[in-house]
Amino acid sequence: MELSTPSVEQFATCPIRGRVLVVDDDKLIRTLLTEFLTKDGYQVVVACDCLEALELLDDPKNEFKFMVTDWELPDGSGIDLIRHVRHVVQSHYIYVVMATSHGNRENLTLALNAGADDFLTKPIDRAELIARMRAGQRILNLETRLTHLANSDLLTGLPTRRVFEELAAKEWCRSMRYRLPLSCIIFDIDFFKRINDIHGHAAGDEVLREVARVFYTSVRKSDIICRYGGEEFCAILPETSMSQALTWANNIRNRIAATEIVLDSAVVNVTVSMGVAEPYSEMEDLPDLVEVADQCLIEAKTRGRNQVVA
């Protein structure tokens, strides 16, 4: 798997570099940083003190990729802000640059130990700022790629079962708390072993990719899906009743059956069997829901495959 980071040339053509939180009580510095960063393609949001910065950081909509912070602020220290970022805001990594005139070795060590990634000495030099931001961008890009690799199934590109279980468990809690409907669909390709046996394993892989593609293009952004196992796929449909889920399941079952999958040696069609379930009072958690859907899937196989059982 190649894992090269983009070259400087690629950066130069990259129009949007993400959102930067600039924290400084000096208006001139805020203006200067905003101008330098905006010109280089960043979206800049400014804060004058810790309180303002914390409010912005704690709003998940902001999704800051970077924070450039001053050391001394009217209501606290940039060091405390950095500690907050590292200990509280953890949904994604924020690359932190400490910008200060306290540029001695002792302070540099303190800032790095608090969680800063880099250091910028005032007065701010434009070229140095941009170069340090690009160093940060390389690390963030690498993190994004590694996260994607860790969370996606290599063959189909769908989320892995681990990611699915994490997100679906959250959705389960939300649906319980707010009494919202929720449905689970699990499906398995019928007689898939035959594809491997007749056309070879590579052809089997192609069929899996194609089924995954039809599945992926049939769901909403809010649905939580995954490749659940070998030739098994699962979906949690938030705010979806059993009857809506049944309609959806039959649609996708028909779409898969109608898809002609072009292999090297032949054109094939596959069908899928599906189980659909919704929560009921005896269920304790998400695995209970998936288990019931799985029982329905087994029943669909027993009844002759290429059908949906609820």
Residues near Mg ion (CB under 5 A) are 25, 70, 72, 188-189, 192, 231-232
Asked if 278 is part of the footprint of ligand GH3 (rule: CB under 6 A), the reply reads no
Asked if 231 is part of the footprint of ligand GH3 (rule: CB under 6 A), the reply reads yes
19 vs 301, beta carbon nearer ligand GH3: 301
Q: At 57, list the tokens.
A: 């950081």
Residues between 48 and 87 that touch ligand GH3 (CB under 6 A): none
Asked if 157 is part of the footprint of ligand GH3 (rule: CB under 6 A), the reply reads no
66 vs 187, beta carbon nearer ligand GH3: 187
Choice among 231, 278, 284, 299 that is catalytic = 231
Query: Residue 303 binds what, of Mg ion, ligand GH3, none (CB under 5 to 8 Å, by partner type)?
Result: none
Cα–Cα distance for residue pair 266/197, rounded to 1 Å:
14
Per the annotation, the verdict on 171 as an active-site residue is no
The backbone torsions φ and ψ at residue 4, rounded to the nearest 5 degrees and listed phi first, read -75, 145
What size, in residues, is the chain?
A: 310
Asked if 299 is part of the footprint of ligand GH3 (rule: CB under 6 A), the reply reads no
Cα torsion for 27, 87, 119, 25, to the nearest 10°?
A: 10
Q: How big is the site for ligand GH3, counted in residues (CB under 6 A)?
A: 16
Asked if 165 is part of the footprint of ligand GH3 (rule: CB under 6 A), the reply reads no
Asked if 136 is part of the footprint of ligand GH3 (rule: CB under 6 A), the reply reads no
Cα–Cα distance for residue pair 33/268, rounded to 1 Å:
59
CB under 8 Å, gap of 24 or more: what pairs does 90-94 form? 91/60, 92/63, 93/140, 93/143, 94/57, 94/64, 94/65, 94/66, 94/67
Residue from 160, 196, 295, 307 in contact with ligand GH3 (CB under 6 A): 196
43 vs 196, beta carbon nearer ligand GH3: 196
92 vs 191, beta carbon nearer ligand GH3: 191
Query: Residue 208 binds what, of ligand GH3, Mg ion, none (CB under 5 to 8 Å, by partner type)?
Result: ligand GH3
β-pair partners for 262: 267
Question: 42, 66 in Cβ contact below 8 A?
Answer: yes
Cα–Cα distance for residue pair 54/195, rounded to 1 Å:
56
Question: 275, 252 in Cβ contact below 8 A?
Answer: no
Q: At 44, list the tokens.
A: 């800049």
141 vs 151, beta carbon nearer ligand GH3: 151
Asked if 298 is part of the footprint of ligand GH3 (rule: CB under 6 A), the reply reads no
How near is the Cβ of 84 to Mg ion at its closest, in Å? 17
Asked if 193 is part of the footprint of ligand GH3 (rule: CB under 6 A), the reply reads yes
Asked if 117 is part of the footprint of ligand GH3 (rule: CB under 6 A), the reply reads no
Q: What track of x and - describes contact with ligand GH3 for positions 197 through 226 (by CB under 6 A)? A: ----x--xx--x------------------
Catalytic residues: 231
**What does the binding site for ligand GH3 look like in residue numbers (CB under 6 A)?**
155, 188-193, 196, 201, 204-205, 208, 230-231, 301, 305
